[in-house]
Amino acid sequence: MLGPNGAGKTSTLEMLEGMNDIDGGSATINGLNVSQNSYEVKKIIGVQLQANEYFDRLNLIELLILFGKLYSQEIDPITLLEGVNLAEKANAKPEELSGGQKQRFSIACALVNNPKVLFLDEPTTGLDPQAKRNLWQLIRDLNSDGMTIVLTTHNMEEAEYLCDRIAIMDQGKIVAEDTPQNLILKYAPEPPQAALHGNIEDVFLALTGHELRD
Amino acid sequence: MFTSAQLHLAKVFLKIFLRNRQSIFFSMLFPLIFTGVFFFSGGPSDPIKLGLVNMSQSSIASQFSDLVIAEPSFNVTKGSLIELREELIIGDQTAIILIPEDFTFIEGSSQLSLILDASQVRQASSIQETLENSLLAIERDVRGIKPMFNLVVEDVQARPQRYIDFLLPGILAYMLMNLCIAGSGFNIVEYRRRGILKRLFVTPIQPKDFIVAIILSRMVIVLTQISVMLGLAIMLLDINVVGGLPSLYGMVILGTFIFLCIGFFLGSLAKTQEAIQPIVALTSFPQLILSGVFFPISSMHEFIQPIAHVLPLSVVVSGLRGITNDGMALLTLNSTTVGVGIWMGISFFVAIKYFVWKEVAN
């Protein structure tokens, strides 16, 4: 879901996650109506929120075990941390992580229930290019393993790089929805004509002649 | 009875608490100081400093003077009016008794003067009472009569009861209320502000699970605090729990449940940390006054009594007092236990019904 700030991306996501009431239309995830089965839906989705804060004084392993318990599941925290390249930080507290590590950890938390659909809300906002690329790779890997990923962003490059389908939102409405390729074909302006050979000097010379003016 | 998610969450909350050394230190210091205050304030008070000016030569005057000096609640200094008045002004004396020159035993003619500093007026009544008793004793002695009546204060249930016995259950309940509301109300606002509750809300747990987990973990903490306080009270203040400790602990658990749930409700009512403080103050202070913590509800204005009796703190105070002082058993069916049951239902219902996971716009 691509859109400028305030377009309604997060609100839409929160409706899909069962966090906000759906005030118009309906949403279905894996055949379940979200409004009617929000509890069941929560069992099969994983969610990474824009702001990720955790209980104080717990390390990454303890937090992952806690999240697992909330889904009534026994999990292997180290395997999950390895999956997001954070195994060496297993005993660290979230506040000791860098921005990129925090985002990767929040994805690990969202994966504890091995969700069918993973929701990521602006996962790379505020990350440096290395951390961003690293996270993109993680998202691609999860997707290629068969997980459906719904992510919001206002970064065009990210949308183009990661997504199979893009919904462009503005003022609470989806204004276009298709594969990145089709969207480009449909909406991108004609490519500008190739720049003419030469520069302003050529123009100057053409207008004023080549003769020497001694 | 409890789900594994509830138990695990409770364990996590307890772990978070136990890793916060500062909070452990202060939560254990609190009951220590609390009991200490009672222990040290409950002892005999210092004698009142009294200046005595005896201007009379009569034997009655010296007899009276001796009685006043012998009175253990007075620390008497004899001297002239001028120097004692100076001492009174600078605060070295609390009051001066002036025995006039004509202090003799002629009926109705002798008059004593008590000179006081207005700021010490609080002690005037006890000075006056002791003086009157001394005068009465002298009068009886002079007249050669024995006291006709003797007032013996006897408790209807034939057990000695001091004010501290009355006060302690009330203070215990009040402390319970404060610990619980702080433990749930303040925490929940903070967790919500930081988005932690929102993160939990996207997992399949329900308000009930979260509330039960916090109740379980706080219960352990509160019971430890109460045990420290109660242990000290039993050792230092010679408190006797007539109804037995199991009933007392049972009532403490029920009270903890009620106040934690009220804390959750207040935490959901308050949208910010700034708002939770006045909301909690507004809930706890009127109850401190109206719930019979310091004096019985029956001594209040009749108009307010029906309201005072049904407050949550009142039912817990009355339950704890019934157990510690009157030997009530926890499982007795009476207005107090019914009141506790009703408040448990109401508080749990409102805590769950109005639970707010997300930060809401103001």
- pLDDT, position B360: 52
B6/B14 Cα distance (integer angstroms) = 12
Q: How far is CA A179 from CA A141, A150, A163, B134, B202, in A?
A: 19, 14, 8, 104, 29
A36/A28 Cα distance (integer angstroms) = 10
A178/A167 Cα distance (integer angstroms) = 7
- Window from B134-138, B320-324, B345-349, B354-358 with minimum mean pLDDT: B134-138
- pLDDT, position B357: 79
Q: Between residues B235 and B148, which one has the greater pLDDT?
A: B235
Mean pLDDT, residues B188-205 taken together: 89
Confidence of residue A165 (pLDDT cuts 50, 70, 90): very high
Using alpha carbons, select from B65, B64, B55, B76 the residue that is nearest to residue B139. B64
- For chain A, the maximum distance between any two Cα atoms, rounded to a whole number of angstroms, is 91
Number of C-beta neighbours around residue A149 at 10 A: 19
Q: What does B292-326 look like in DSSP terms, one character per residue?
A: TSSS-GGGS-TTTHHHHHHSHHHHHHHHHHHHHHH
- B77 backbone dihedrals φ, ψ, rounded to 5°: -115, 125
Asked whether the beta carbons of residue A52 and residue B3 sit closer than 8 angstroms, the reply is: no
Select from B202, B214, B358 the residue whose CB has the most chain A CBs within 10 Å, as the one to mutate to test that interface: B202
Asked whether the beta carbons of residue A53 and residue B15 sit closer than 8 angstroms, the reply is: no
Asked whether the beta carbons of residue A57 and residue B19 sit closer than 8 angstroms, the reply is: yes
- pLDDT, position B338: 93
pLDDT digits (tens, 9 = 90+) for A62-75: 999 999 999 998 99
Give the ipTM of the model, two decimals please.
Answer: 0.82
Confidence of residue B89 (pLDDT cuts 50, 70, 90): confident
**Consecutive H or E run containing A178:** strand A173-178
Confidence of residue B132 (pLDDT cuts 50, 70, 90): confident
Helix axes A99-110, A129-144, angle to 10 degrees: 20
B198/B196 Cα distance (integer angstroms) = 5
Which residue in the block uniquely carries the two structure tokens 């950890």?
A: A105
Asked whether the beta carbons of residue B195 and residue A53 sit closer than 8 angstroms, the reply is: yes
Question: What is the rounded average pLDDT for all residues in chain A?
Answer: 88
Helix (H, G, I), strand (E, B) or coil at B270: coil
Residues from chain B contacting residue A55 (CB–CB below 8 Å):
12, 16, 191, 196
Confidence of residue B362 (pLDDT cuts 50, 70, 90): very low
Q: Chain A residue closest to B358 (CA)? A: A19
N residues, chain A: 214
On the question of pLDDT at B69 being above 90, the answer is no
Tokens describing residue B334: 């009476």
Mean pLDDT, residues A170-188 taken together: 88
The alpha-helical segments, DSSP class H, found in chain A are: 9-16, 38-44, 60-70, 77-83, 99-110, 129-144, 156-162, 180-187, 200-208
The alpha-helical segments, DSSP class H, found in B57-100 are: 59-70, 81-90
Using alpha carbons, select from A17, A104, A7, A96 the residue that is nearest to residue A58. A96
Q: How far is A18 from chain B (nearest CA, A)?
A: 7
pLDDT digits (tens, 9 = 90+) for B242-267: 888 899 999 999 999 999 999 999 99
Of A152-156, B71-75, B114-118, the range with the highest mean pLDDT is A152-156
Question: What is the rounded average pLDDT for all residues in chain B?
Answer: 83
Residues from chain B contacting residue A54 (CB–CB below 8 Å):
196, 199
Asked whether the beta carbons of residue B199 and residue A53 sit closer than 8 angstroms, the reply is: yes
Q: Are B169 and B321 in contact (CB under 8 A)?
A: yes
On the question of pLDDT at B356 being above 50, the answer is yes
- pLDDT, position B45: 61
Mean pLDDT, residues B4-17 taken together: 92
Residues of chain A contacting B, Cβ within 8 Å: 17-19, 39, 42-43, 45, 47, 49, 51-58, 62, 65-67, 69-72, 109, 113
- B214 backbone dihedrals φ, ψ, rounded to 5°: -65, -40
Q: How far is A190 from chain B (nearest CA, A)?
A: 44
pLDDT digits (tens, 9 = 90+) for A26-46: 999 999 999 999 899 999 999
Mean pLDDT, residues B63-91 taken together: 83
Asked whether the beta carbons of residue B204 and residue A70 sit closer than 8 angstroms, the reply is: yes
Q: Is the whole model's pTM more than 0.90, yes or no? A: no
Q: Between residues A26 and B156, which one has the greater pLDDT?
A: A26
Asked whether the beta carbons of residue A18 and residue B4 sit closer than 8 angstroms, the reply is: no
Tell me which residue in A18, A39, A69 faces B8 most closely, judged by beta carbons.
A69
Q: Chain B residue closest to A73 (CA)? A: B5
Select from A29, A55, A105, A111 the residue whose CB has the most chain B CBs within 10 Å, as the one to mutate to test that interface: A55
Number of C-beta neighbours around residue A192 at 10 A: 6
Q: Between residues B342 and A126, which one has the greater pLDDT?
A: B342
Long-range contacts of range B228-235, CB-CB < 8 Å, 24 or more positions apart? B228/B28, B228/B31, B228/B32, B229/B31, B229/B32, B229/B34, B229/B35, B229/B172, B229/B175, B230/B172, B232/B31, B232/B32, B232/B35, B232/B36, B232/B39, B233/B35, B233/B38, B233/B168
- pLDDT, position B105: 63
Asked whether the beta carbons of residue A42 and residue B195 sit closer than 8 angstroms, the reply is: no
pLDDT digits (tens, 9 = 90+) for A99-146: 889 999 999 999 999 999 999 999 988 888 888 898 899 999 999 999
Select from B203, B217, B358 the residue whose CB has the most chain A CBs within 10 Å, as the one to mutate to test that interface: B203
Mean pLDDT, residues B211-216 taken together: 91
- pLDDT, position A181: 87
Q: How far is A68 from chain B (nearest CA, A)?
A: 9
pLDDT digits (tens, 9 = 90+) for B36-54: 777 776 655 677 788 888 8
Tokens describing residue A117: 């659909």
Confidence of residue B359 (pLDDT cuts 50, 70, 90): low
Confidence of residue B320 (pLDDT cuts 50, 70, 90): very high
Asked whether the beta carbons of residue B15 and residue A67 sit closer than 8 angstroms, the reply is: no
Q: How far is CA B289 from CA B1, B202, B299, in A?
A: 38, 42, 12
Number of C-beta neighbours around residue A49 at 10 A: 23
Q: Which residues contact A122 (CB under 8 A, 6 or more apart)?
A: A9, A10, A50, A151, A152, A153, A154
Asked whether the beta carbons of residue A51 and residue B195 sit closer than 8 angstroms, the reply is: yes
On the question of pLDDT at B27 being above 50, the answer is yes
Q: How far is A170 from chain B (nearest CA, A)?
A: 22
Confidence of residue B361 (pLDDT cuts 50, 70, 90): very low
- pLDDT, position B28: 80
Helix (H, G, I), strand (E, B) or coil at B228: helix
On the question of pLDDT at B283 being above 60, the answer is yes
- pLDDT, position A126: 82
Select from A53, A106, A119 the residue whose CB has the most chain B CBs within 10 Å, as the one to mutate to test that interface: A53
Mean pLDDT, residues B314-332 taken together: 88
Residues from chain A contacting residue B188 (CB–CB below 8 Å):
none
The vertex-B106 CA angle with B100 and B109, nearest 5°, equals: 55
